[in-house]
Structure 1
């Protein structure tokens, strides 16, 4: 069993059996990574609050039989400033959803991880959440090789993501323009 330690952000979490959670974590070294948190849904688990979506965590993973298992986890940041503000939370949700959909699994994206950290810092202090988020979404598409000159608006970005992922996400984010009004 190989043990490794990283820092990353929880992009998504979901149930994987009764007491387990399957986490999607984005970190600098491995990129997007699926990690199984055994017993995380248990009432007595101390991990429940730490592995919440969009928390920045420091974690140890043990790899066994092709699976990554969460061993130890410490909270680095809850990004509470972003979660408490409705507009900033919506912007972060959109950006992280696009990131989760487009990132390849277990391919290091060091530059994009650093861009994401810079985006979160800028979003925390900016009053122009739409512009900050738009620029980060363009950065995601550019870094991953999907950007083209026809991308001008948010709708263009979402349409491009839909074409790549073959999933309807504009319906999910249809309220976005009202949020930014």
Structure 2
């Protein structure tokens, strides 16, 4: 079957890179094609009708054309600009952190419609609850990592798959939580094990199993935020060699 050369879809802008004086490479996450990086010819010209629609985080309708080796952006129009997020630097930093995480963790043209949906929902929630941007950011990261397969379970043992009892531990080398029975026979003597408070398991499991909107009902006390952030970062950097650039901006705000 002959591959379609011209396509129409929607996308959220993850990254923008200038090329020369007139062009740009733009990376979108789309529901149909996953992450796509395309060349936008002439988009930096003052006369370009596409220029005003191309900003980080924007959700846009796009028309693309594909040559043998490259996608090209032919049309682009905004669906949502998320103006409330962009009013203040702290919420901008949170939004960019999520965009960079997705860009770093995904491959080109491997579609995950669920990933597009949760990215879109996260930006909508940040837009509506902009003061809770940091809380939403950390919860979204946990959910993204689950979709991408970087988090297994905080409810079942990573070895025997039985429901975790109150006695359990996190095995750092395998990124799994193990029950007491498996702990006694599985890890080698030098394994790095960490006992977890049962309340941490309940918190993480609630985030993983409930819709995004429901997680906003969690008590937003500092200890909960710190726990969510700690585990999100552990799994985020499971397969990344260095920190996201946007981490520095988060520390400023």
Query: What TM-score do the two structures reach when normalised by structure 2?
Result: 0.64
Q: Does the 8 Å contact 1:82/1:88 carry over to 2?
A: yes
C-alpha distance 172-85 of structure 1, shift in aligned 2 (>3 A): closer
> Unpaired runs of 5+ in structure 2?
155-169, 171-203, 205-226
Q: Distance in 2 between matches of 1:117 and 1:66?
A: 28
> Does the aligned pair in 2 maintain the 1:88–1:124 contact within 8 Å?
no
Whether 1:176 aligns to 2:179 is: no
Give the aligned partner of residue 112 of structure 2: 109
1:23 equivalent in alignment to 2:26? yes
Q: Which among 122, 128, 134 is matched to residue 130 of structure 1?
A: 134
Match of 1:145 in 2: 149
Q: What is the count of residue pairs matched by the alignment?
A: 178
Structure having the higher Rg: 2
CA apart distance, 1:27: 0.8
Give the match for residue 162 of structure 1: 237
Asked which structure has the greater RCO (Cα within 8 Å, sep 6+), the reply is 1
Offset, 1:19? 1.7
Rounded to whole Å, the distance in 2 between the matches of 1:51 and 1:33 is 15
Q: Which runs of 5+ in 1 are unaligned?
A: none
Cα-to-partner distance string for 1:9-46 (whole Å, 9 max, x where unaligned): 11111023332100100110011111110111223222
1:43 aligns with 2:117: no
Q: Does 1:65 align with 2:65?
A: no
| 8 Å CA contact 1:15, 1:22 repeated in 2 | yes
Residue number among 75, 89, 108 corresponding to 2:92 in the alignment: 89
Equivalent residue of 1:83, what SS? helix
In 1, the alpha carbon distance for the partners of 2:136 and 2:125 equals: 7
4+ long deviations beyond 6 Å: none
* Residues in 1 aligned to 2:141 and 2:97: alpha-carbon distance in whole angstroms: 9
Residue 113 (structure 1) shift: 0.8
Deviation at 1:153, TM superposition (A): 3.8
Q: Determine helix, strand or coil for the equivalent of 2:55.
A: coil
